[in-house]
Structure 1
Amino acid sequence: MSNEHTQEVLNQTVADLSKASALVHQIHWYLRGPGFLYLHPKMDELKDQLDEHLDEFAERLITIGGSPVSTLAEFDKNSKIEMTPAVWGKSNSERVKELIVAYKYLTQLFKDGIKIAGDDGDDVTVDLYTTALGDIEKTLWMIEAEVG
């Protein structure tokens, strides 16, 4: 049984988690206004969570014979997460809404990853996606609750 499709979705995940991490970092730097004192450290926490999952997915891809994308240009070219140069003047709520879009996309990607890896008979990768999906869904619930 070929694992080509699993390798493809894992590489998509590597690109998207890399870009999502950059988005969180951008938000962390550009936060201003009400909510700053708790949102600023929360962004560090979210970035750490994304980076942990990123490492797990990249290492899994290598383990099953793949080669993860690894440059900023590859992340940007392959990721489906939208990101624009930061500007001052956006509200914290607007910035958090950017996160919601990215996290909703990641939940769908991880669900796709579960199906694709399952179809390839790769239970270990299914487990990685299942764990990551639980974390991302919980985070999405929390950031949506913040926006109201």
Structure 2
Amino acid sequence: MDAKEISLKEKSVKPVVDMLNDYLANYHIHYQKLRGCHWNIKGQNFFTLHLKFEELYTNAQLTIDEIAERVLTLGKPPHSRFADYIKESTIQEVNTIGMKDLDMVEAILSDMAKLIELERELLNATVEANDDGTNDMVNNFMQFKEKNTWMLRSFCGKK
């Protein structure tokens, strides 16, 4: 399959696909960080954050699958090697063992800010490519992160 089969121009969609693969790489690092936070959370916020991190990594897992499937829909293969994810991601891995609970939340907030930044760039690229399908998908992902950013910031006592 290629983009023209869904009424998109290959040349216009190429930047979108490249950005989606970068986005996919960042999401994988974010996902693993969420798993690490879920596994290694300790302290008085254990029950609250253990559940929240599980909610977020479950959502991230579904999001990763949708991103990869969108890349395939646009006629290209998604990246699928951790070596590529680590190389391409601007989100950095962290060791969550021994991390304090609020430091974990801060790390997740930082990831979400970066992912939202990537989503806004993707939205601009999808408009230029007339790729409403990707635009709609990314917009939904961004709205989820915006709401959870507000919730996590409120949890930390921030405005």
**TM-score, normalization: structure 2?**
0.89
Q: Does 1:39 align with 2:49?
A: yes
Match 1:60 to one of 53, 70, 84: 70
- Inter-partner Cα distance in structure 1 for 2:54 and 2:150: 18
Offset at residue 91 of structure 1 (A): 1.6
Map of 1:30 onto structure 2: 40
Match 1:113 to one of 122, 138, 144: 122
Q: Which has the larger radius of gyration?
A: 2
Offset at residue 74 of structure 1 (A): 1.2
- Inter-partner Cα distance in structure 2 for 1:87 and 1:105: 23
Map of 1:123 onto structure 2: 132
CA contact (8 A) 2:25 2:89 kept: yes
**Secondary structure of 1:85's aligned partner:** coil
Offset at residue 38 of structure 1 (A): 1.3
- Inter-partner Cα distance in structure 1 for 2:96 and 2:103: 12
Map of 2:58 onto structure 1: 48
Offset at residue 86 of structure 1 (A): 3.2
Map of 2:5 onto structure 1: none
**Secondary structure of 1:115's aligned partner:** helix
Q: Does 1:147 align with 2:156?
A: yes
**What are the superposed Cα offsets for residues 73-127 of structure 1, whole Å, 9 maximum, x if unpaired?**
1111111111123331x32011110011000111111111111111111110011
Q: RMSD of the alignment, in Å?
A: 1.0
Task: Give every structure 1 segment of 4 or more consecutive aligned residues whose post-TM-superposition deviation is greater than 6 Å.
Answer: none
The percentage of aligned residue pairs carrying the same residue is: 25
CA contact (8 A) 1:24 1:46 kept: yes
Amino acid at match of 1:15: A
* Structure 2 gap segments, 5+ residues each: 1-8
CA contact (8 A) 1:13 1:54 kept: no
Count matched residues.
147
- Inter-partner Cα distance in structure 2 for 1:67 and 1:125: 16
- Inter-partner Cα distance in structure 2 for 1:30 and 1:42: 13
* Structure 1 gap segments, 5+ residues each: none
